[in-house]
Every structure is written in structure tokens, then in C-alpha cells.
Structure 1
Amino acid sequence: MAAVLVLLLLLAAGPGPGRADAGRERRDALREELLLSPLPTGDVAATFQFRTRWDADLQRGSGTDHHLLRYAVLPREVVCTENLTPWKKLLPCGSKAGLAVLLKAERLFHSSYHSQAVHIRPICRDASCLAVSWELRQTLTVVFDFFSSGQGKKDWSLFKMFSRTLTETCPLASQSKVYVDISPKNKENELLEVSPPPTSVHEAIVQGDKKTYAVYDLLSPSLFNTSRSLNVQLKWQRPQDSSEMPIPILHAQRYVGGYGLQTGEICTLIYNTHPYRAFPVILLETVPWYLRLYVHTLTIITKGKENKPSYIHYEPAQDRRRPHLLEMLIQLPANSVTKITIQFERALLKWTEYPPDPNHGFYVGSSVLSALVPSVTAMKNMDVEQSPLFTSLFPSSDGSSYFVRLYTEPLLVNLPTPDFSMPYNVICLTCTVVAVCYGSFYNLLTRTFHVEEPSRGGLAKRLANVIRKFRGVPPL
């Protein structure tokens, strides 16, 4: 099971004391959305998004325009209910009502892919941005593979995926919708059939492609008139050719090169498959301090030629305090592969700094790629506050491009590891020597020895002599 746990924390100062919104009306709100997307391989991706908005100044009286941007990636985090339970407790209705009813741990963790995220950001309440509200956005993405689960069919429903159906909405939610991607996978015929009939149909441009979504508004009174529960079902009208896999315009790979346990190199391959458009990309690398980077070995090669970055920002690491931070702006030519390599040296750690399984290796966090990818299909600007889930996940800057942020796979790096069995053997041998040799020597030094004369006999000897006397035998 692949599992990734991503945390994004964005904090910024609110307005100063002079811009306090004491007289403004509070509009705290909860918006929840679920996007169901059938994948070309037959899998189904379910993306939950819960947005809680507070009209409150959390940093009132702080005085000063402080901006703090932090990314935290946990590549080796074990997927369990200890991650899901506190995540669900942040929701106003918990898991008792609304879309959160579907968050059943047994079904979510029995999947091909699982990802959780928490976003905190300030948003403007109006166009003048005189007052700032805070938005807590929680997203969860799960990919279900029905072939591995033994069902063997591409037809699916909410009950098949989550073992539950939607029965009621969260009373505190101002928006609660389910979106189902019913876009035609083939230009000739529609492949998907959804039931029950949706309340509306929405069309949008997502990542340069025209998408059609069936929308189920849980706040609509007519939705639960026919039945008390909503079980969205989707059937394939004919088998889909899974060999036609779409290739994204921007994608990347990352791996560790080199040989031995002293030096190595981090290699990143960035692909631009657009046939005629070039665009820049921002690459952010965060490397732990125990991998000592050699910045002078940084090379960027595109189509066999050197590709000089337009911008480079590097902050060296400090041992046991902070990692390396490398940020670059690279131009990606059309239909090209850009290879980025940088050499590093493995540092020696203290024996107390190794994890319980040091021979497994050390995980290095993912690289972050951010770019405005050219769009083939023109799109319209939409208000982010009024836009549905997929538009907020893939925001667009204008009609000719859309914003994409990618995370590469984490790296597993082996460091020089001592033989931890030798200290164990030394400890065992030392304890044995102390217990046997030192204990005996200590007894010899502390004991007092003296000679005792043998006694004249006890009760048994006197009784034996009485018997021998009656028998006429000499005493003992």
C-alpha cells in the first residue's frame, strides 16, 4: 500500500489594530465536497475537501505585513487510525453527519493510495481586503482498486467503496456537494452511466481538458425525497481500453545515483511533453544535513546542452539544526527531458542518531515542482470562493495556463552504518566477566576465614554410643 501523508502550513499576519473588524458580521462557514473520478486503469479516485472558515483575527495585536511558509512531508508515516482520528476531530460535525460519514478507516486504508493534508491560510473577506478570515482546508484522497479487492468489475458505488451511504447533511454546512466525473473517455460514445439522476451537470476546464461533472447537492430538498440515503452508482456502458493512458504535460522522476557508501548524486528528471510550448518551473529541494551537498557539481542538461537556471537560491545546512534548501527557476523547452544532478557525501552519524532499523536506510523528502502549465483548451476565470473542489485544487491564472504543484517520490538513501551487533557482544562479554571474575575476586577480598575445631559429637553420636554400649561394642 502506498501512503503519503502531506502537511502544508501557511501562516500570515492579519490586519493591524487599526483595521480591526469589530463591527463586521461574522460569517463562519463550512463547505464540504467530494470528487469521484474514474481512472483509465479502472480504479476510482475519491477526493474529499472540507473548508472551515473563521471570521476572526487570530493574530490581533501582533503589530507587524510576518509571512511564514512551511512544508512538512512525512514519507515514512505509517497509515493507521492514529492519523485519521485527530484529522476527523477538526471537522465541525466530526464523522457523525455529512460527507465525513464515508470516512471509515477500515475501507480507507484498504486502498491502493492514501493521502491526507491540512492547509491553513488567510483569505480576504472582500475585494478591498480590509479584513482577513482564516480558512482550514482538509483534503483526503483515496484510490480504490476493485481488481485487487476481488470484485473484478469496474462498476462501483458509494457503498462498494466506503461500505456506507449518505443519509443526512451536516447541519453546520453551508455547502455539501458530490461531483462525479462523467466526462466522455472516447470522442465517439459516452462510456459512463450514473444513477440516481444528478441535481445538475457542471462543465469546467481542469488541467487543460474539458470535463463534465454530475453534481449532487446534498442541501437540495428533492435529493432525499425518493429515499433516505444516497448511493451514487456508476456503470461502464462498454469495456474501456485501459492501454490508452494519458500522459501529463508535466511530470517528474527522482532517484539516487552513484556507487559505494561515501559519495552519490541526486538525479531529477523533469518532462515537458507539450509539443510546441515552453514554460518555466520552480524546483524546491529540501535535503537533510547528513547528505552534504556539493553545489559546484550542480548540472542541468536539456537535449544534450547545458540549461542555466534563471534563479538560484541556496541555504546551506547546519549539522543537526537545519537541512539544505535549494530553489531554482528552470526553463523547460517544448517536448524535452531535463536532467538535474547534484553530488553529495554521506556523513557519519552518532550511534544514538540511527533509527531502530538503520540498515533499511534513511528517507529523504520529496522535491516540489511548481509551474504554470500551458493549456490547450481555453478556460474562464472563476472566483475561488465560489468554485467547486476541482477548480480550487487546480487553480488557473488565466485562460492560457493552469497552476500545477507536483511532489516527486521520496528517496531511500543508505548511510555508513556500524555493526550494531558488536556493541551487543561487547556488552554481553563485559557483563559475564564482571559477574564471574569480579564477583569471585570481591568475595575473596571481603570474607574472613578462621579454623574451627570439630565438635565432640552431637545428639546422633551420643545416641549411637548408648546403643553400642548395650551391645558391648566400643564407643565411637
Structure 2
Amino acid sequence: MAAHRCSRSALLLVLCSLCLFSIAESQETTPAGDHRATGVDNPQSVTGSTEQMAEQPTVVEEEEEEEEDRRWEATRDEVETENTSAPDTSAPTFEVHSSVPKPKDDFQEELVIRPLHSGDIYASFQFRTLWETDFTTGNKVSHYRLFPKSLGQVISKFSVRELHISFTQGYWRTMQWGQPFLPSPPGAELWVWFQDSVTDVDETWKELTNVLSGIFCASLNFIDSTNTVQPSASFKPLGIGNVTDHRFLRYATLPREIVCTENLTPWKKLLPCGSKAGLAVLLKSEKLFHSSFHSQAVHIRPVCKDWQCKTKSWELRQTLNVVFDLHTPGQGKQEWSLFKMFSRTLTEACPLASSSKIYVDITDDPQGEQFEVSPATHLLSQAMVLGDRRTFSLYDLTQQITFGTVRSLNLHIRWKSSEGYIHYQPSKDRVRPHLLEMLVQLPPNSVTEVTVQFERALLKWTEYTPDPNHGFYVGSSVISSLVPSIVAMDTNSTREQPLFSSL
């Protein structure tokens, strides 16, 4: 029994010693002068229970944390006061790095409008997507943001280095319209550069045309060895690289390919915003296909990301070029607007586009003496186009001021000369014929030749005239001359006079 009592006494002595040591250590770490720490100096706390002694360090730790917070708040207030009163330019700056990576793709859209010398309007759309990725490394690309997934899979699967495809309806009249921005032949055109890792180019070419036929709803699956060639001097690569082996190049055309809405709809779906926002809103099929010329194309190539070309990006350019007859929508008036040509106006840019701009070519009329562009803009841009320096009026769709208070942009071009070089009224089937009037000044001793091209519509079987082998006759032309003479100025036709005296 005495041994048990001694052991208990020793245990209580050890516990009391540990508690006293903890209290002493707490007093040393507690800031002096703190009124909330004076309870430790009370001798009664030393003789208290072991449970109360165990709780005391926890209270002290909480008080230390509160004191530390007050110190940080005071320091922050002092720093803010110093920054507002006298900013220190030598202080280091810290950047907050977000865990979300920045997107490595970019989308831009632009529209160039150019009045032609023939009186027609040339509109050129370009949608450009840049993506900093590499399809040739063998790694599967699974995340697509702006770049269309269907074309990305084509590049990766068939080891495509460059792809150029166009669908054109009509003929480009160089003598009347000048040079186009991007030339293209009538029908469908396709030319592709493959990577040098392709072992069987002909088989890969055949599979590629079948896949593209499904993407663009075209007859590209009819491309075979009979209409495929392998050029050796033309169709050089437009992207970066030193590929010169023309064994990896294939070119084919389908001149009789009919371009229609089935080709335009999948083409518009490749855009990040589709045809819901931005410049693509203007691409209305019933207006585009009733034009003098229409061409849509897709161009894919590798380009340099920076000027040192250390990083490679893939460029996707979707272009659409269309020429409108000026007199058809204006009913003989020399004016043009977005609504008359496209039956739409612009209300916003594509939300995914970093740049959305419209350029109106005013090079031939910089002072606005021949035609007027409204709404007016003070932004001008100059660029070298096909070797000529051109001046453009610039409209930035990313700026809210461009749309004005009506929140709608309808560009309008009006020629100032009311008395026109032509007056044209188009015909309507089975309603009215064509009317073309031209006011010309003929120099003496000269010969003037006027040529008119027209097409006869297909008639119903009840509308054919008897003996149709003669063909169809065109109404005679009427020439009215204004001769400055005294006889011509006499408008009194009531006097009796011979016939010859009035001529």
C-alpha cells in the first residue's frame, strides 16, 4: 500500500510540474501588457484542476492568432496609405497567374466592299481562324474551340499539309471588274499537299475526296484518275515549310459542278458563330445565288506564329466573293445598301471574334465627289492590294459607336449624279420586258457600237409562236438625237407646213 501511495504522489508531482512548465512557457510567449493574459498570474490557477490547466494553452493560442491578424491589418492599412500618398515605383510587382490556360486560337472576320468601274458592287468576306496546335505530331487533338472539328480530323487522319477547295458559280469578267482578290475557276476546284509521311498518295487522295464530299455536300466523290493531275511547276505551297516534292500534290476540277444552298449551308456551319451573329448574318442564299458572280472557298495551311517562326499555327481561311448587279436591286437607281443586297443589316459582331471590321474602298473617290457613303466614319485605312495602294473607310463592329443609337448598321452608297452614263429596268417573267436607256455624247466622224448580251428563258409549250425554227426576235432599238438647231427648237406643230420643213 505504501508503494502505491508513493507512485501516486510521484505521478501527481510530475503532472503538476508539467502544468507549471506549460504555464510558464505561455507567460513567456504572451505579449506583455495584454490585459487578457493577466489571468495566468493568479496563483489559484496553479492549484486548479488538470482539466483547466489543459484548456489554458488553447485560449492563449487563439489570442495570439487574433493579435497576429491585427498586426497584418495594421500593416496593410499602412501600406495602402503609403501607396495612395506617395507611390513607390521601385516596389516589386506581383502577377497573379490564373490556373485557367489562355486560349491558343483566334478568330477574325472582315468584309471588303468595292464599287467597280462597271457600276457593279464587289463584296469579299474573309473569316480567319488561327490555332496554335500541331496535327502532325501523332497526338490526338480532342478539344476544339474555334477550329471546326470536322476539318481538324481530316488534317490529322489523312496527313494533310495544305488544303484548298472552292465552289464557284459564274465567270469573273476581268475586263469590266478588274482583278479579283482570290481567283477561282467555275465549278469545283480542289488541290491538296500531303505530308511526306504518306506512303500511298493516290489512295489517300481518293479517301480524302470522299470525306470532303460528305462535309460540303458536293460531288467531289466523282474525282478519280481521269480528272486528277499532278502539277510540277504550279500550285506551290502557300504555308511554311520546304516541301518541293510534287509527288505529294494532287489537283482536280469539276467544271460542271452546280453551286447551290446545299454547299453554302455546311460552309457556314464551319464558322464559330455560324450564321447567327457577325458578318455571316448577311450570307443569305437567295440573295447570293442571284448575283453575277459567287465563289466560296476554304484554305488551310500552316503559318508562323511569330516573326521568328519558332511556333507553328494552323490557319483556316473561309472566303466568299460575290459581285452584285448595281441596277437590279435599285430598280435603275444608282445606289446600294446592305439591306438591298443581302436583305439583312448588322446588329453585332461575332462574340468569339477578336476583330470584326468592314472596309469600303473609296480610292477612286477620296473626296466624295462621285458617291457618298453613309453613315460617315472618320476611320480610314490604307493597304497595298494587288500592287495598288488603296484607301478604305473603316467600320469596327466591336465598337458600340459603330451601330449608333438604332443598334443597326446599314451601309449605304449613293451616287450623287442624278442624271446618269445608263438607266436600266430589269424584266419580270411574263410581266414586263427589259428597258435599257443610255445617254451618250458622240464625237463627230465617229462610230459607236453598243452590244447587249441576254438570255432567253425557257418557254412553256403553249407560249411558242408558230414556226419556231425562225428563232426569237428582239425588239428594235430606238435612237433619239438631240441636235441644237432652230428647227429642232420649234415646238409649234399646229402651223400648216410641208413635211420636209419640219425635219
Find the structure with the greater CA-based Rg: 2
More strand by proportion, 1 or 2?
A: 1
**TM-score, L = length of structure 1:** 0.43
Q: Normalized per residue, which structure has more helix? A: 2
